[in-house]
Amino acid sequence: MHINPGIFKAYDIRGLYPGEINETTARQIGRGFVAYLNATRIGVSRDMRVSSPALAAAFIDGAREQGASVVDYGMLPTDVMYFAAVTDGLEGGVQITASHNPKQYNGIKMVRAEALPLSGDAGIGDIRDMIANDRLPAPTPTRGGLTTRDVLPQYVEKVMSFIDPSIIKPFNVVLDAGSGMAGLVAPLLFDRLACRTTRL
């Protein structure tokens, strides 16, 4: 299939939606990701962009078509996906996000086991070449399974384990996540501290 090689960056895949990255692209990248890692079990999560649910669903479909079982974590910040990949012993993890880019962009961040990132030199270029040169392996006879999991409570416990909440004196804090994914996690953490929050 024709794919814009420019969306494959040094550390992730990123482009304009739907012109450069869309459901068809995401499905092929999902297949390539599983084929490159020879993975049997991966996790996928996404940010809050309007295009992210459709791209995540397409990526998951491609990964399952290639025989991998997928854990769908739903909407999560990228660092929580990395945490999930390690905690759940996955062979790969994927975050549908374009990070700081404007809303018309979307993208894909990918890690292997132990949340080690794929890069242009190791993985991302291989997946690009597989798709561009029609070298994706044939889909497996049996599709991979699909499960869902909420990993946020476990992540919050892990973050809280780094501090002693009892030594924090009461204070006021304003939480402004800038419409980003921190808005999902920060309130859960601050609720565990001796502070009064105002949430924008």
What are the residue numbers of the active site?
Answer: 99
* d(C-alpha 7, C-alpha 135), whole Å: 19
Instruction: Tell whether the torsion through CA atoms of 16, 18, 20 and 22 is positive or negative.
Output: positive
What 3-state DSSP class applies to 110? strand
* d(C-alpha 5, C-alpha 131), whole Å: 10
Q: Edge-to-edge strands of the sheet including 105-112?
A: 13-16, 105-112, 92-96, 41-46, 69-75, 146-148
Residue type for 66, please?
Answer: Q
* d(C-alpha 49, C-alpha 51), whole Å: 5
- Please, what's the b/e burial string for 125-137 (b: 16 or more CB within 10 A of its CB; e: otherwise)? bbbbebbbeeebe
Counts for the chain of helices (H) and strands (E), in that order: 6, 8
- Do the Cβ atoms of 155 and 189 come closer than 8 Å? no
